[in-house]
Homo-oligomer: A and B are copies of this chain.
Amino acid sequence: MGIEVKNIKKRFGKHEVLRGINLEFVPGKIYGLLGRNGAGKSTLLNIIAARIFPTAGTVTLDGKTVCDDDSALEQIYLMSERNLYPEGERLKKLLKTTELLYGSFDYTYANKLAAEFSLDLNQKFGKLSTGYRSIFKLIVALCVPARYVFLDEPDLGLDANHRELFYRELMENYAQTHRTFIVSTHLIGEFANLLERVFIIKNGQILVAGEVEDVLAKAYLIAGPKEDVCKYSAGLNVIGHESLGNIYGNYVFGGVDDERHLPDTVSLEHLDLQKLFINLTNEKGEK
């Protein structure tokens, strides 16, 4: 059940953007799909939504190949970070087009959201600021009847108030519909509490997959005098380090051996998701 992505590869010319992606989205969860700029997230989302074809691999929904099956495709909505709407078209008209494509559309809900976000639906898409383009696309995504909703950088250009309103509306929609949401965002710190499961993509491959809670349980900062920290970290999976004056810190992923004796000079604390992400995905040379 759900969406299964099997061994997806995608090559643009000589550049292999996706190098064998396997993952699964089960019904009724909120996922984070995290990766750096250029990691291949948008390409993967476009393949799942059958907007582009993979070089190899399959995407199925409840066992049916998505790109061959209209009833499967109707269950998937992708809010793209790119602006695909015609600039001269009024927002109301664009909602009608969405209804035609997806068979139905919740206009009552759309009007409620537009009022909350102070968006006038009589405007033309091309007149909207970056923030309001995101808001319009979010409203569409929340109101289509699809069971799997993918949001690619939904927060681009939103001010802090609109982001808070969006998080609240997303959670309310989720609580009522039990649909599956998959969010790709760079604002990991703000989103972390909303996500149940997370996939981290690096260089076209899945680096980390799991429940957010389990992933964070394995992520630590070991801090103290450099010599003591390095001694304590020996044999652990050190993914980064930092120093502030005389304090040295090693970031570790994969858990620490509970048998180790923690010296009094060294402290051990858990990382938040954004800090873990940064350290896991930094390129060589970045600290």
Our pick among B156, B187, B286 for the contact of A165 (Cβ within 8 Å) is B286
- Whether the pair A188, B160 counts as a contact (CB closer than 8 A) is yes
The CA-CA distance from A72 to B61 in the complex, in Å, is 62
Asked whether A129 and B277 contact (CB < 8 A) given A157-B186, A161-B286, A186-B157, the answer is no
Q: What chain B residues lie within 8 Å of A131 (beta carbons)?
A: 37, 186
A22, CB-defined interface residue at 8 Å = no
Q: Which residues 125-175 of A have a CB within 8 angstroms of B? A: 129-132, 153, 156-165
Asked whether A161 and B278 contact (CB < 8 A) given A189-B189, A283-B118, the answer is yes
Interface readout for A77-114 with B: 1 if CB under 8 Å, 0 if not?
00001000000000000000000000000000000000
Q: Which residues 115-130 of A have a CB within 8 angstroms of B? A: 116, 118, 129-130
Q: How many copies of the chain does the oligomer comprise?
A: 2
Our pick among B38, B116, B278 for the contact of A129 (Cβ within 8 Å) is B38
* A88: min CB distance to chain B, Å: 20
Q: What chain B residues lie within 8 Å of A118 (beta carbons)?
A: 283
Q: What chain B residues lie within 8 Å of A213 (beta carbons)?
A: none
Interface size class of A (residues with CB under 8 A): 20 to 34
Q: What chain B residues lie within 8 Å of A157 (beta carbons)?
A: 37, 153, 156, 186
Our pick among B161, B190, B278 for the contact of A36 (Cβ within 8 Å) is B161
- Whether the pair A37, B165 counts as a contact (CB closer than 8 A) is no
Q: Which residues 28-51 of A have a CB within 8 angstroms of B? A: 36-38
The CA-CA distance from A283 to B157 in the complex, in Å, is 18
A282, CB-defined interface residue at 8 Å = yes
The CA-CA distance from A116 to B131 in the complex, in Å, is 29
A233, CB-defined interface residue at 8 Å = no
- Whether the pair B189, A37 counts as a contact (CB closer than 8 A) is no
A274, CB-defined interface residue at 8 Å = yes
16 contacting pairs across A/B (C-beta < 8 A): A36-B159, A37-B129, A37-B131, A37-B162, A81-B130, A116-B285, A130-B156, A131-B186, A156-B156, A160-B186, A160-B187, A160-B274, A161-B281, A161-B286, A187-B187, A189-B190
Question: What is A's interface to B at a CB cutoff of 8 Å?
Answer: 36-38, 81, 116, 118, 129-132, 153, 156-165, 186-190, 274, 277-278, 281-283, 285-286
